[in-house]
Amino acid sequence: MSNTKGEERLSDSNDGGTTESAEKPSTAEPAATSTTSPPAKLAAKLGLFDAAMIVMGGVIGSGIFVNPAAVARQVHSPVLIIGAWVLGGALALLGAMIFAELGAILPKVGGEYAYLSAGIHPIVGFLYGWFALLVINAGGTAAVALVFAKYLEILLPVPIPERVIAAATIMLFAVINCLGVRFGSNVQSALMILRAAAALILIVASVGWYLHSSNVTPLAWRPALGRPGSIGLAAAFGSGMIPVFFAYGGWQTGNFLAAEMRNPRKNLPRALLVGTLGVVALYVGVTFACLAVLGPAGLAATSTPASDVMLRVLGTRGAALMAVGITISTLGFLSQSVLTYPRVFFAMAEDGLFPAGVSRVHARTQVPVVAILLASLLTVAVVVAGHYDAILVYVESIDGLFMGLTAVTLFVFRRRLSMEPREDTFRNPGHPWTTIIFIAAYWLVVANSLYRYRANALLVLVILLAGVPLYFYWKQQGQRNRVAAEAGGP
C-alpha cells in the first residue's frame, strides 16, 4: 500500500523518535519453542459515530452557556455577535480539515504528539506531551472538575467538600475508561448526547418564545455593525473573538485515539468534519437563542446567559433544567478528557520517551491502564493542591502554539510524500492557503495572550524547559531498554 510506504518514510526521517507507523506483516520466522504470549495491543473498536462524539465532546463544555455574554460585552450588534461565532466556527473547520489530512497520513495513537515528533523533531513532540501532562491535562481538567463540583453542590446540597467531589469524579472516570475503550466511549457518547440535548432545548424553546411571545423586542439587524466602522470597532471585535476562539478548542483530541478507530484513514477525517460542523451549528444556535430572548444589551449585562434565557422562557423549572444541563456538560467534558489525553502519554512511553510501564496495555480490556491512572492521579493531585490558577491562563495559549506547529507539519508531510500516490486518503482542499490562515490566526492570539500576561510567562517557559533534560534522559533509557530486549530475545 502506498500509504504504508509513506509512513515508513515519515518515521525513518526522524532520529529515533516515533513508533512504527503501521502494522506490517513480519518477515521473521516465529520462534518454535516460544511459550510467552505477545504483549497486548490497543484494539480498534471505535466507529464513525464514536469518533464524531469524541470530537464534539472535546469542544462542548460549560463555556457555550456562558461565553456569548463575553462576546456581547465587546460588540453590541446581533450581526457582529453571531458573526464572531460563525467566524470562529469557520476557523475551527479549517483546523479540522488540516487534522483530518494529518490523521489520514499518520493514523497513530497520540495525535499531535505523533505529528510533531514525525514532522518536526521528537523533542518537539515530547515537549507537547510534557506540557499536556502537567498543564493541559492536569491543570485544565482539575479546573473543570472543580466547576462540576460547584454546580453539583448547587443542585444537590451535600456536606462534601468540592475538592473531594472533583477528585472522586475524576477517579470514577478513570475506572470507567480502564474497563475498555468501548465502554469509556459509550459513556462519553451518552453524556455528549445529553449535552447536545440541553443546547437544543435552549435553542428550540428560545426560538419558539421569540416567534410567538407578545413581549418580544425584535432584533435590530441594521445597521449591521451597530456603529460606524473604525479601528476601535475592529479591536473590540478582535477582543470578542478571544473567548470564541477558546470555546471552539478541543476538536483535535479525537486524533489521539486514531489507533483505536476502525478504518481511521476514512473515519477520522469524517468524524472531524461532522463533529466540528455539529459544534458550530449548536454554538451559533445557542448564541442566537440568547440574543433572541435577552437582546444584545441584556446579554452583555448577564454572567449567566443560558440560565437567564431559560428563566424568562420556561420559568424557574427552565432555569433548573439548564443548571442540570450545564452540570452534565462539565461532567461530559471530564469524561472526554480522561478518555483521550492518556493516549498521548502512552504514545510517549511506547516511543521510549517516558517510563516504560506507562506503555503497558491491559491484556483483557486492551487499554493503557497505567497511562489512564497516571493522568488521573496527577489531576487529582492538582485538585487537592489547588495551586494551578497562575498557569491556567496559558493552557489555551501554549496549546495554540503547538496547534500552529502541528499545522506546519502538513507542509512537511506533503513534501515528503509528494512522490507517493494518495488517492485513498483525505486531502485538505484549501491547502496551503487555509493552512497558512489557520496558523497565522492561532499564533496571533497566542502572541496577544502571552504579551498581555508577560509578567508570569516565565513560569510556562520554565515548565517547558524542564522537559528538555527529561527528554534526553528517557531517550537514553529507552535506547538501553531496546538494546537489553534485543540481547535477551530468542
Identify the pLDDT of residue 394.
64
pLDDT one-digit tens code per residue, 391-414: 556 677 788 889 999 999 999 999
User: Torsion angle, CA of 191/115/241/68, rounded to 10 degrees?
Assistant: 0
DSSP 397-409: HHHHHHHHHHHHH
Identify the pLDDT of residue 35.
53
**Which residues neighbour 427 within 8 Å (Cβ) at sequence distance 6 or greater?**
101
Among 138, 129, 117, 91, CA closest to 375: 138
pLDDT one-digit tens code per residue, 112-155: 999 999 999 999 999 999 998 888 888 888 888 988 998 888 88
Residue 291 in grid coordinates: 440574543
pLDDT category of residue 1 using cuts at 50, 70 and 90 = very low
Q: 217 — phi, psi (to 5°)?
A: -100, 110
For the chain, domains (ranges, CATH) are 43-487 (1.20.1740.10)
Report the distance separating Cα 486 and Cα 415, nearest Å.
34
Residue 341: count other Cβ atoms within 10 Å of its Cβ.
27
Q: What mean pLDDT is reported for the chain?
A: 86
Question: What integer is the mean pLDDT of 35-63?
Answer: 89
Identify the pLDDT of residue 228.
66
Report the distance separating Cα 407 and Cα 399, nearest Å.
12
Residue 457 has pLDDT above 60, yes or no: yes
User: Which residue bears the cell 437563542?
Assistant: 289
pLDDT category of residue 64 using cuts at 50, 70 and 90 = confident
* Contacts of 228-236 spanning 24+ positions with Cβ under 8 A: 233/75, 236/74, 236/75
Residue 282 has pLDDT above 70, yes or no: yes
pLDDT one-digit tens code per residue, 295-330: 999 999 998 899 999 999 999 999 999 999 999 999
pLDDT one-digit tens code per residue, 195-206: 999 999 999 999
Report the distance separating Cα 335 and Cα 84, nearest Å.
28
Residue 40 has pLDDT above 60, yes or no: yes
In sequence order, which ranges of 302-341 are alpha helices (DSSP H)? 305-340
Identify the pLDDT of residue 57.
95
Q: Which residues does residue 46 pair with via DSSP β-bridges, in sequence order? A: 261
Report the distance separating Cα 9 and Cα 232, nearest Å.
50
Identify the pLDDT of residue 20.
39
